[in-house]
Structure 1
Amino acid sequence: MTVRPNDPKTFTLTFRLAENYPVDLYYLMDLSNSMADDKKKLADLGVLIATDMNKITKNFKLGFGSFVDKVVMPYVSTAPSKIARPCDNCEPAYGFKNQLKLDADANKFRDQVNKAQVSGNLDAPEGGFDAIMQAVSCDGEIGWRNQSRRMLLFSTDAGFHYAGDGKLGGIIKPNDGQCHMSNNLYTESSNQDYPSISQVAARVKEKNVNVIFAVTKDQVQIYKQLEPFIAGSETGELASDSSNIVQLVRENYLKITSKVELVVENSDDVVVTFRTKCKGDVEENTNKCLDLKIGDMVTFNVSITAKECPAGTVGNIQRTLKIKPVGLSDTLEVRMNVLCSCNCETPQIEEANKNSPQCNSSGTFVCGVCKCNPGYYGKDCSCPIGQRTLTDLQNECKPKGSTLDIYCSDRGDCICGKCECRARSSNSAQRYSGKFCECDDYSCPFYKDLICGGSERGNCKCGKCYCNDGWSGPECGCKNDTSACMVKKGDKYLECNGKGRCECGACVCTSKEFYGPTCEDCTTCLEVCKKEKPCVQCHLFQSGPLRTAVTKCPPEVNVLAIVLGVIGGIVAVGLALLLIWKLVTTISDKRELARFEKETRNAKWDTGENPIYKQATSTFKNPTYAGK
Structure 2
Amino acid sequence: MSWCIIFLLIQAEIISYKFASTAEVCTKIKANTCQECIQSGPHCSWCKKVNFTKAGESDSVRCDTTAQLLSLGCDQSNIIDPISETLNIDTQDLNDGTQLTPKHIDLQLRPGETGEFEVQFKRAKGYPVDLYYLMDLSYSMFDDLVNVKELGNQLLSALNGITKSAQIGFGSFVDKTVLPFVSTHPEQLKHPCTDKSVQCQPPFSFKHILNLTGDGNKFKEQVGMQWISGNLDSPEGGLDAMMQVAVCGDKIGWRNVTRLLVYATDDGFHIAGDGKLAAILTPNNGMCHLEDNIYKKSNEFDYPSVGQLAQKLSQNNIQVVFAVTSNMVKTYQDLSNLIPKSVVGGLSNDSSNVVQLITEAYQNLSSEVILDHGITPDFLDIVYDSYCSNGVNVLNDVRGICSNVKINELITFKVKVTAKKCLPNQSFSIRPLGFTETVKVSVTTACDCLCEDAIDPKACNSNGTIVCGICSCNKGHLGKNCECAEGSKTSQELEQNCRKDNNSAVCSGAGECICGQCICHINDDSSKKIFGTYCECNNWGCEMFENKLCAGEGTCFCGVCTCNADFDGTACQCKRSTDRCMNNGSICSGRGECKCNLCTCKGGYIGPYCKTCPGCPSPCPRFGPCVECHIKHNGQNTGNCTDVCFGATVKQVETVTEEAFCREKDSDNCWMQYFINEEDGENKFSIRYTLKRECPEAPNVLFIVGGTIGGVTLIGLIGLIIWKIFTELKDRNEYKHFEKEKQKVKWDENVNPIFTTATTTVKNPNFEDEDEDEKSI
Shorter-chain TM range is 0.5 to 0.7
What SS does the corresponding residue of 1:82 show, helix, strand or coil?
helix
Aligned residue number for residue 706 of structure 2: 572
d(CA) in 1 for partners of 2:278, 2:563: 70
Q: Does 1:11 align with 2:124?
A: no
What SS does the corresponding residue of 1:220 show, helix, strand or coil?
helix
Residue 193 of structure 1: how far off its partner (Å) = 3.5
Residue 549 of structure 2 contacts residue 556 of structure 2 at CA under 8 Å; is this kept in 1? no
Residue 383 of structure 1 contacts residue 415 of structure 1 at CA under 8 Å; is this kept in 2? no
Task: Describe the superposition over 1:92-134 as per-residue Cα deviations: whole angstroms up to 9, x where unpaired.
Answer: 2222222222222334333433321001222322221221122
Residue 319 of structure 1 contacts residue 338 of structure 1 at CA under 8 Å; is this kept in 2? no
AA aligned opposite 2:433: V
Residue 372 of structure 1: how far off its partner (Å) = 8.6
Aligned residue number for residue 166 of structure 2: 60
d(CA) in 2 for partners of 1:71, 1:578: 100
Q: Does 1:326 align with 2:433?
A: yes
Residue 281 of structure 1: how far off its partner (Å) = 5.7
What SS does the corresponding residue of 1:343 show, helix, strand or coil?
coil
d(CA) in 1 for partners of 2:276, 2:135: 25
Aligned residue number for residue 416 of structure 2: 303
AA aligned opposite 2:706: A
Seen in structure 2, the aligned counterparts of structure 1 residues 145 and 355 have a Cα distance that, compared at 3 Å, is same
What SS does the corresponding residue of 2:356 show, helix, strand or coil?
helix
AA aligned opposite 2:345: G
AA aligned opposite 1:568: L
Aligned residue number for residue 246 of structure 1: 355
d(CA) in 1 for partners of 2:281, 2:699: 108
Q: Does 1:220 align with 2:333?
A: no
Q: Does 1:280 align with 2:280?
A: no
Aligned residue number for residue 142 of structure 2: 36
Q: Spell out the pairing of 1:547-558 with structure 2 (5 A cutoff).
A: none
Task: Describe the superposition over 1:321-374 as per-residue Cα deviations: whole angstroms up to 9, x where unpaired.
Answer: 1000111111000011222332369996365487659xxx999xxxxxxx9953
Identity of aligned residues (%): 37
Seen in structure 2, the aligned counterparts of structure 1 residues 417 and 590 have a Cα distance that, compared at 3 Å, is same
AA aligned opposite 1:570: I
Q: Bigger shift: 185-194 or 233-242?
A: 185-194
Residue 163 of structure 1: how far off its partner (Å) = 3.5
**Which of 294, 304, 307 matches 1:198?**
307
Residue 249 of structure 1: how far off its partner (Å) = 1.2
Residue 414 of structure 1: how far off its partner (Å) = 8.8
Q: Spell out the pairing of 1:227-242 with structure 2 (5 A cutoff).
A: 227-242=336-351
Residue 254 of structure 1: how far off its partner (Å) = 1.9
Residue 164 of structure 1: how far off its partner (Å) = 4.0
Residue 266 of structure 1 contacts residue 322 of structure 1 at CA under 8 Å; is this kept in 2? no
**Which of 189, 202, 205 matches 1:83?**
189
Structure 1 unpaired stretches of 5+: 311-316, 364-370, 426-431, 441-461, 464-508, 521-562, 595-628
AA aligned opposite 2:380: V
Seen in structure 2, the aligned counterparts of structure 1 residues 288 and 517 have a Cα distance that, compared at 3 Å, is closer
AA aligned opposite 2:178: V
Residue 138 of structure 1: how far off its partner (Å) = 2.3
d(CA) in 2 for partners of 1:142, 1:415: 61
Q: Bigger shift: 267-276 or 179-188?
A: 179-188
d(CA) in 1 for partners of 2:184, 2:289: 23
Seen in structure 2, the aligned counterparts of structure 1 residues 218 and 572 have a Cα distance that, compared at 3 Å, is same
Residue 266 of structure 1 contacts residue 320 of structure 1 at CA under 8 Å; is this kept in 2? no
Residue 538 of structure 2 contacts residue 557 of structure 2 at CA under 8 Å; is this kept in 1? no
Residue 384 of structure 1 contacts residue 416 of structure 1 at CA under 8 Å; is this kept in 2? no
Seen in structure 2, the aligned counterparts of structure 1 residues 58 and 308 have a Cα distance that, compared at 3 Å, is same
Residue 324 of structure 2 contacts residue 347 of structure 2 at CA under 8 Å; is this kept in 1? yes
Residue 540 of structure 2 contacts residue 549 of structure 2 at CA under 8 Å; is this kept in 1? no
d(CA) in 2 for partners of 1:589, 1:243: 96
Q: Spell out the pairing of 1:179-578 with structure 2 (5 A cutoff).
A: 179-268=288-377, 269-278=379-388, 279-280=390-391, 282-286=393-397, 287-309=400-422, 317-343=424-450, 349=467, 351-352=471-472, 356=480, 373-374=519-520, 384=534, 386=536, 513=633, 515=637, 567-576=701-710
Supply the RMSD in Å over aligned alpha carbons.
4.9
d(CA) in 1 for partners of 2:558, 2:444: 38
Residue 583 of structure 1: how far off its partner (Å) = 8.4
d(CA) in 1 for partners of 2:429, 2:559: 48
**Normalising by the residue count of structure 1, what TM-score does the alignment of the two structures yield?**
0.60
What SS does the corresponding residue of 1:321 show, helix, strand or coil?
strand
Residue 304 of structure 1: how far off its partner (Å) = 0.7
d(CA) in 1 for partners of 2:437, 2:447: 31
Q: Bigger shift: 95-104 or 292-301?
A: 95-104
Seen in structure 2, the aligned counterparts of structure 1 residues 289 and 579 have a Cα distance that, compared at 3 Å, is farther
d(CA) in 1 for partners of 2:452, 2:383: 32
Task: Describe the superposition over 1:254-284 as per-residue Cα deviations: whole angstroms up to 9, x where unpaired.
Answer: 2211101111135212111101232216453
Residue 68 of structure 1 contacts residue 95 of structure 1 at CA under 8 Å; is this kept in 2? yes
Q: Bigger shift: 271-280 or 43-52?
A: 43-52
Task: Describe the superposition over 1:570-596 as per-residue Cα deviations: whole angstroms up to 9, x where unpaired.
Answer: 3224445676788899999999999xx
Seen in structure 2, the aligned counterparts of structure 1 residues 256 and 420 have a Cα distance that, compared at 3 Å, is closer
Residue 50 of structure 1: how far off its partner (Å) = 3.1
Query: How many residues get paired?
Result: 449
